[in-house]
Amino acid sequence: MRFSEPTLLYFLVFVPLLYLLLLGLGKLRFRERERLGNLDMLNRFSSREVRGYFGRDSLFISLGVLFLILALAGPQAGTRLEPVKITGSDIYIAIDLSRSMRAEDIRPNRIERAKIDAIELVKSLQGDRVGLILFAGDAFVQCPLTTDYDAVITFLKSIDTDTAVSSGTSLFSPLEVALSAITPEEEKYSIVLLLTDGENTGEVNDRVLRQLQQRNIKVFSIGIATKDGAPIPLFDETGRRTGYKKDTSGKVVISRLGDDQLTEIARRTNGYFIEAGRGLNDIGKFIATVNEMKKREIETKRYSVYEERFQVPLGLGILFLIVFALTSVKTKRKVTQ
């Protein structure tokens, strides 16, 4: 036996106090009537017998209240197995780790903003599987598809631009990795989200775009940069800033949003491109898209559900109150006839 609202059981301590209070009030009324004269004579003209009934009425009311409190506390006993279907989509989050993601035109900087958006997305998921792809010149799967959101968030918090194993930026390397990871059975439920500044040092890969089209895998992009751009800071081994990246002529390089290819990728895969704003709500539109997507049944789990047993104490509580009401009416009719 268990209770769904066990805190309500504390009110049971007031039941004995209620009984004693009602009993005291009954005795007080009895003594007041007794002072008026002979009780036998008073009972002939009274609508209610004076002797004995206050004790019985106090008991019936108190028992009725006791069982009603037990019913409100939600007694439960026994269990039944109830199947619950878990549905969801597959989402690969691809994060750009190139050196240009250190630029600070998006606060606090591009890579940190990408991590904030990715963590916000993962926290909003319910049943969807999520995987993590990191890329710069090359790409690799940092975390395979999983519903262990805490693990994904731990990976996201630990990454920075030093995680990249090669320089440059290839927007198509994470898409190739996603194509290899997604099975034919998962295609219609899979999407890829690119979090990048869009600067592509590699070539446009039409073959990858055609495969994405053929397999109906949508690619969405959030451009984590501005068109005005910003210089790329450089740091030493201790993390101290030493200056900004310069070209061969000694001029500071300004990294800007490369939205042309991101827009083209989104257009050809039926996704969309969003330019990151200066607020922290870039991911909201994508979350809405995920929620609207067609879901597949991932698994069915069975949960133990307790059977409600409030009916018994509720019935007893009502019964005692009805008995109290009927005995009171019956006494009155007997005396007035």
Same domain, 144 and 267: yes
Q: Which two tokens stand for residue 135?
A: 């890329």
Look at residue 130 in the predicted model and tell me its pLDDT.
Answer: 95
Look at residue 33 in the predicted model and tell me its pLDDT.
Answer: 61
**What per-residue string of b and e applies to 282-306 under the rule 16 or more CB within 10 Å gives b?**
bbeebeebbeebebeebeeeeeeeb
Residue 80 lies in a domain: no
User: How does pLDDT run across 125-139, given as a tens digit for each residue?
Assistant: 888 899 999 998 889
Query: Which residues of the chain, if any, have pLDDT below 50?
Result: 332-337
SS3 at position 131: strand
Look at residue 335 in the predicted model and tell me its pLDDT.
Answer: 45
Same domain, 153 and 25: no
Q: Which residues does residue 88 pair with via DSSP β-bridges, in sequence order?
A: 296
Same domain, 118 and 225: yes
Same domain, 138 and 215: yes
Residue 136 lies in a domain: yes
Tokens 């800033």 appear where? Answer: 241
Same domain, 153 and 287: yes
Q: Is the dihedral of CA 215, 220, 224, 226 positive or negative?
A: positive
- Cβ(276)–Cβ(246) under 8 Å? no
**What ranges make up the beta strands (E) of 97-224?**
129-135, 139-146, 190-196, 218-223
Look at residue 266 in the predicted model and tell me its pLDDT.
Answer: 92
Same domain, 120 and 232: yes
Look at residue 154 in the predicted model and tell me its pLDDT.
Answer: 95
In this structure, are strands 190-196 and 139-146 parallel, antiparallel, or unpaired? unpaired
Look at residue 288 in the predicted model and tell me its pLDDT.
Answer: 84
Q: Which two tokens stand for residue 115?
A: 């991590």
Give the span between the Cα atoms of 5 and 263, in whole angstroms.
Answer: 54
String of DSSP letters for 299-331: EEEEEEEEEE-THHHHHHHHHHHHHHHHHHHHH
Same domain, 164 and 93: yes
Same domain, 154 and 295: yes
Residue 206 lies in a domain: yes
Q: Which domain holds residue 34?
A: 2-74+309-336
Q: Which of 128, 133, 148, 181 is nearest to 292 (CA)?
A: 128
Look at residue 306 in the predicted model and tell me its pLDDT.
Answer: 75
SS3 at position 140: strand
Look at residue 333 in the predicted model and tell me its pLDDT.
Answer: 46
**What ranges make up the beta strands (E) of the chain?**
2-3, 75-88, 90-96, 129-135, 139-146, 190-196, 218-223, 230-231, 233-235, 241-244, 254-255, 273-275, 296-308
Q: Which of 160, 152, 146 is nearest to 120 (CA)?
A: 152
Same domain, 67 and 177: no
CATH number at residue 148: 3.40.50.410
Q: Which of 293, 254, 269 is nearest to 172 (CA)?
A: 269
Phi, psi of 153 (to 5 degrees): -65, -40
Domain count, the chain: 2
Tokens 């994060």 appear where? Answer: 95
Look at residue 66 in the predicted model and tell me its pLDDT.
Answer: 93
Phi, psi of 19 (to 5 degrees): -60, -45
Q: Which two tokens stand for residue 133?
A: 């792809």
CA distances from 234 to 114, 137, 163 (A): 19, 19, 15
